[in-house]
Structure formats: C-alpha cells, structure tokens
Amino acid sequence: MLSYLGELAALATSLTFSVGSTMFTAAGRRLGSLVVNRTRLVIAVVFLSIAHQVVLGTLFPLDVAPERWLWLGLSGVVGLVLGDIFLFQAFVLVGPRLSMLMMSLAPIIAALEAWVFLGETLTGGQIFGIALTIAGIGWVVMEGNGQHRNDRDYGRGILLGLGGAIGQATGLVLAKNGLGGEFSPISANMIRMIAAIVVLWGITFFQGQAKATIQTLRNDPKGVLFTTGGAFLGPFLGVSLSLFAIQRVEVGVASTLTALPPVFLLPISYFVFKERFGWGAVAGTLLAMAGVAALFLV
C-alpha cells in the first residue's frame, strides 16, 4: 500500500476537488458567485499560511525576487480572479459536473499556449489526446443542449466554464515563468493567492461592495460553512495532495489521476443535485478523460 501513496494522493486530489466544487456550487447558489470567490481566497490564504509556517518556517514567502512576484502575480490575477469569476458563475448556472468537465480543457489550452508562446512541442499522441478530449466534451455538451434547448442559462454556463478553463490555462503558463529553480510551490501558490486578493478586493472596495459582501456572509452562516469547506478541500488540501503526488509518481500519471473530478462528479451530481443525464453524458465524460490521459501519457 505504501508503494502506491503517490497514486492514492492523486486520486484523493480528484476527490477533494470534486467535493470542493460541490461545496462551492452550494455556496454560490446561496451567497452569489462573486461573494464566494472573494471569501474563499482569504480563507485559502489562511490555510496556506499555516502550511507555509509548518513546512518552510515563515507565514509568508519572504525575500522573493521581483521577477517571480511579477509572473506569479499575473498568474494569480488571470487564473484566480478572471478565470475563477467565470468558473464560479458556471457552478451556479450548470452545476459542478459540467463546469469541471469544461475545466478539463485547461491542460489542452495550456499545451497549445505553451506551443505558441513558449516554443514547446506537441507529439502526435498529444494531438490525438486533444482531439479525444474535445470530442468527448462536445458529445456531453450537445446531449445536454438537447435537454436544455430553451434554457439560456445552459449556454451561458458552458461558455463561462470555457472562460474558466482559458483563465486557468493562461495562469499556469504565466506561472511557469516564475517557478524556475528550486522555488517552493507552496510559496508560489501563496504569491498567486495574495496577488488575486489584492486585485479582487481592491475592485470590491472601489465598487463599494465590501460592506455588502460582509453583510451577505453574516446573514448566511451555512453559506460561509460551504465556502470554508470548499476552500479547505480545493486550494489547500487538493493542491497539497497534488504536489505530494507529483513528488512520488511520474508527472503524467499524477496529472491524469488528478484530472478525474468530472468522473467523480457523475454520481455526486446525480444524487446530491438530482441532475438527470443519459448514458451519452457518461460515455462522453469517459472519452474526454481518456483524451486527458493520452495528453499526458502518450
């Protein structure tokens, strides 16, 4: 069992992201997606600062080169502010299953951006994986479109999920410029979070929404509980488990196993959110996951 700790950690990552996205969906439907996004960043930084103190001996990353702050800060703004604004609204409109399925496009978009902007190459197997993933997601989306033909929220939710994937992918590409050498991933995550908090809460104060945000949180303790649970499971525990998995097993295996939330969310969406979908949605999801696996393993 100990020899499979890396694989188990990667599977646990998928499970924590699945349950975390479910909690964020429940919170967003109670508090609103913007309030949840503002709040979960602050909560996540508290958890990360504790981990930073335990692992690295300081609450916050100190003596970090300005260039790292620039790239990681931009990554946080693009991925955690812009991308997650789209993603959290998608949670509200179409639920976690379809939102996280759209997010499985993120590694594909990141690979294409790295090919264009960073000069990285794509193998034939990776191109095949990209095609499989797009075909699988297209299958699920078209089947859902037939069930929600007159539902405007469905189309908006799909587009917002795509926007979330683009934001996350672009954020990862930007982060790569700030992660060179032996720089701690925990510190990098903290810098991304701090930059996102400064920008998002700066906009909140500028718009005069800070007081309303706090009042919304006071009026709905259950929504705050869901937000806290999602912040703990996703940005803190899920990211920590994924880093542990990457240390123990090949990156391709870890990346594939951590990309399974859309599969875990099939039963969660069915039993928790009472969402009804056909076998085509299941088959399309599995096809998309096979494409993600091919992207990393072939």
pLDDT at residue 54 greater than cutoff 70: yes
% of the chain residues with pLDDT over 90: 58
What pLDDT, on a 0 to 100 scale, did the predictor assign at position 47?
93
Most confident of 110-114, 140-144, 153-157, 223-227: 223-227
Mean pLDDT of 258-281: 90
| Helix or strand holding residue 36 (H, E) | helix 33-56
What pLDDT, on a 0 to 100 scale, did the predictor assign at position 223?
97
**Residue 181 exposed, middle or buried by CB count within 10 Å (0-12, 13-18, 19+):** exposed
Calpha distance 295→286 (Å, rounded): 14
pLDDT at residue 276 greater than cutoff 90: no
Backbone angles phi, psi at 51, to 5 degrees: -65, -40
What pLDDT, on a 0 to 100 scale, did the predictor assign at position 146?
59
Sign of CA dihedral 147, 283, 259, 232: positive
pLDDT at residue 285 greater than cutoff 80: yes
pTM beyond 0.75 = yes
Half-sphere exposure of 47 (CA within 13 A, CB side): 21
List, for residues 74-90, the tens digit of each pLDDT value.
999 999 999 999 999 99
What pLDDT, on a 0 to 100 scale, did the predictor assign at position 251?
67
DSSP state of 234: I
Question: Residue 116: pLDDT band by 50, 70, 90 thresholds?
Answer: confident
What pLDDT, on a 0 to 100 scale, did the predictor assign at position 1?
55
Dmax over Cα atoms in the chain, in whole Å?
55
Least confident of 30-34, 52-56, 208-212: 52-56
% of the chain residues with pLDDT over 70: 96
The domain ranges of the chain are: 2-297
Question: Residue 46: pLDDT band by 50, 70, 90 thresholds?
Answer: very high
Higher-confidence residue of 3 and 242: namely: 242
Question: Residue 63: pLDDT band by 50, 70, 90 thresholds?
Answer: confident
Question: Residue 254: pLDDT band by 50, 70, 90 thresholds?
Answer: confident
What pLDDT, on a 0 to 100 scale, did the predictor assign at position 242?
84
pLDDT at residue 278 greater than cutoff 90: no
Mean pLDDT of 266-293: 90
What pLDDT, on a 0 to 100 scale, did the predictor assign at position 144?
77
DSSP conformation letters of the chain: -GGGHHHHHHHHHHHHHHHHHHHHHHHHHHH-HHHHHHHHHHHHHHHHHHHHHHHHSSSS--S--HHHHHHHHHHHIIIIIIIHHHHHHHHHHHHHHHHHHHHTTHHHHHHHHHHHHS-----HHHHHHHHHHHHHHHHHHHHHHHHTTT-HHHHHHHHHHHHHHHHHHHHHHHHHTT--TT--HHHHHHHHHHHHHHHHHHHHHHTT-HHHHHHHHHH-HHHHHHHHHHHIIIIIIIHHHHHHHHHHS-HHHHHHHTT-HHHHHHHHHHHTS-----HHHHHHHHHHHHHHHHHHH-
What pLDDT, on a 0 to 100 scale, did the predictor assign at position 145?
64
Least confident of 244-253, 268-277, 280-289: 244-253
Mean pLDDT of 58-67: 89
Most confident of 118-127, 200-209, 269-278: 200-209
Mean pLDDT of 13-27: 95
Half-sphere exposure of 206 (CA within 13 A, CB side): 6
Higher-confidence residue of 153 and 201: namely: 201
Calpha distance 131→196 (Å, rounded): 33
What pLDDT, on a 0 to 100 scale, did the predictor assign at position 298?
66
